[in-house]
C-alpha cells in the first residue's frame, strides 16, 4: 500500500484555493469528494470526481519535525482536475481549456512572488508600525535583512525531490516577501506551479506561517506581489527577429482588457504605475523595462532576438492555466 496526497482547486471565486486529502491504496485512480463543502456542488448532489492529471513522486519531509534529519516518508502528490459526478468537465476546472491548446511547443517560466504572514502581519514586521524602508531586503543576507529562509530552503528541496521544474528562489523587495521560479513546457508548467504553491503552504504550516498571494497585501510604499510570466514558442526561440517580438507585443496590446480579467483579482491595487509596474489602464513594452506591461529581456536582444518575452501583468494570485490560455489564444 502507498500514500497518495490528492490536490485540487476548489470552486471559490474570484480565485480558487487548494484542497487536499490523503488516500492509502495501491495506485492513484479517480476518487470522489464532497463538493458541497468546496463551492463545487449542492448538498443534494454533492459528489464530485477527482481525476488525476499529474503525479509527483517524492521523499516527503513536509510532515517531519524541524529537527528531523532522517530519510522522510515516501509519498506521491497527485494533481487532479475536478469532474462532475457524471465525469463531465466541472465549471471550476480551468485546466481543461489548456488541453489541446497549450502544447509543449510553448514554454512558460513563472516568477511566483508571495508574502509570509504570522500573527496577522508579514513575517519579521514589528507588532506596531513598519520595518525600515525597502532597499536592503531584495536578495538580502543576514539577520534583519531576511526572514523565512528555512521555509524557502525546505520548499526548494521538496520541489526538486518532486520533479517540479523549480529554477530558483530569492528574497524580494519587501521584508517577508519571497519569490520562486518554475519553468515548464506546455500544460505541465501550470501543474507544476500549482503543486509548488501547495507544497509551500504545507511546509509553512509546520512553522506556524501562512502564505499570502494577494497582489498588494500592504498599502503604502511597498512592492506588491506578481506572477510575472515568461513565455516563448518555437518561432520566438529559433526564428526570432525584432519585428516578430514587436508584433507579438502589439498583439498582446489588443487583448489587454481581456488579459486583466484573467490575470488575478485585486490587481488594480498592484498595477499602479509604481513599484516596477505599469498602470492597469495602460499598456507598454520595452527592453529591460520593469515598469512596462511586457518586458523584452536584454538576453533576447543580445541573442539576435531569439528568445522569450516577460508578461509582467499577472498578479500573484492568478491562475496559471488562465494565463497560459490567454497568451496562447492571443498569439497562435
- Which pLDDT value is given to residue 63? 52
Task: Report the predicted TM-score, pTM, of the whole model to 2 decimal places.
Answer: 0.95
**Nearest CA to 276 among 288, 263, 261?**
288
Residues 89 and 123 in one domain: no
Whether 100 is covered by a domain: the verdict is no
Residues 82 and 224 in one domain: no
∠252-231-203 over CA atoms, to 5°?
Answer: 120
- Which pLDDT value is given to residue 177? 98
Name the domain count of the chain.
2
Q: Which residues contact 17 (CB under 8 A, 6 or more apart)?
A: 9, 10
Whether 230 is covered by a domain: the verdict is yes
- Which pLDDT value is given to residue 58? 77
Whether 101 is covered by a domain: the verdict is no
- Which pLDDT value is given to residue 57? 85
**DSSP conformation letters of 224-247:** --BEEEEEE-HHHHHS--HHHHHH
Whether 30 is covered by a domain: the verdict is yes
Residues 240 and 292 in one domain: yes
- Can you give the residue range of the structural domain that contains 146? 107-331
Task: Give the whole-angstrom CA distance, residue 82 versus residue 94.
Answer: 9
Whether 149 is covered by a domain: the verdict is yes
Grid coordinates of 140: 538580502
Whether 188 is covered by a domain: the verdict is yes
pLDDT along the chain (332 residues), means of 10: 95 97 94 98 97 87 46 80 97 97 98 97 94 94 96 96 96 97 98 98 96 96 97 98 98 98 98 97 98 98 98 98 98 95
CATH number at 285 reads 3.30.590.10
Task: Give the whole-angstrom CA distance, residue 217 versus residue 116.
Answer: 11
Residues 89 and 112 in one domain: no
Amino acid at each position: 500500500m502507498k500514500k497518495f496526497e490528492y490536490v485540487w482547486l476548489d470552486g471559490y471565486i474570484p480565485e480558487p484555493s487548494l484542497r487536499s486529502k490523503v488516500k492509502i491504496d495501491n495506485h492513484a485512480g479517480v476518487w470522489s469528494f464532497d463538493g458541497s463543502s468546496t463551492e463545487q456542488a449542492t448538498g443534494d448532489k454533492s459528489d464530485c470526481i477527482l481525476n488525476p492529471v499529474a503525479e509527483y513522486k517524492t521523499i516527503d519531509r513536509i510532515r517531519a519535525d524541524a529537527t528531523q534529519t532522517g530519510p522522510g516518508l515516501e509519498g506521491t502528490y497527485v494533481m487532479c482536475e475536478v469532474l462532475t459526478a457524471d465525469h463531465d468537465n466541472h465549471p471550476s476546472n480551468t485546466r481543461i481549456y489548456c488541453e489541446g491548446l497549450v502544447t509543449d511547443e510553448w514554454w512558460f517560466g513563472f516568477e511566483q512572488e508571495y508574502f509570509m504572514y504570522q500573527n496577522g502581519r508579514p513575517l519579521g514586521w514589528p507588532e506596531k508600525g513598519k520595518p525600515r524602508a525597502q532597499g536592503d531586503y531584495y536578495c538580502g543576507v543576514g539577520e534583519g535583512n531576511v526572514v523565512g529562509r528555512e521555509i524557502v530552503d525546505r520548499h526548494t528541496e521538496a520541489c526538486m525531490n518532486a520533479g517540479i521544474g523549480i529554477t530558483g528562489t530569492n528574497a524580494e523587495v519587501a521584508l517577508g516577501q519571497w519569490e520562486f521560479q518554475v519553468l515548464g513546457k506546455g500544460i505541465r508548467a501550470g501543474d507544476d506551479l500549482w503543486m509548488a504553491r501547495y507544497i509551500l503552504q504545507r511546509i509553512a504550516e509546520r512553522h506556524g506561517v501562512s502564505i499570502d498571494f494577494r497582489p498588494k497585501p500592504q498599502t503604502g510604499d511597498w512592492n506588491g506581489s506578481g506572477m510575472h510570466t515568461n513565455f516563448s514558442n518555437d518561432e520566438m526561440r529559433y526564428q526570432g527577429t525584432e519585428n516578430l517580438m514587436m508584433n507579438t507585443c502589439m498583439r498582446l496590446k489588443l487583448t489587454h482588457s481581456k488579459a486583466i480579467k484573467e490575470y488575478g483579482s485585486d490587481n488594480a491595487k498592484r498595477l499602479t504605475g509604481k513599484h516596477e509596474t505599469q498602470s492597469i489602464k495602460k499598456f507598454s513594452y520595452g527592453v529591460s523595462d520593469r515598469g512596462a506591461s511586457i518586458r523584452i529581456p536584454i538576453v533576447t536582444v543580445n541573442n539576435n532576438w531569439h528568445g522569450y518575452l516577460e508578461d509582467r501583468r499577472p498578479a500573484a494570485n492568478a491562475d496559471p492555466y488562465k494565463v497560459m490560455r490567454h497568451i496562447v489564444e492571443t498569439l497562435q
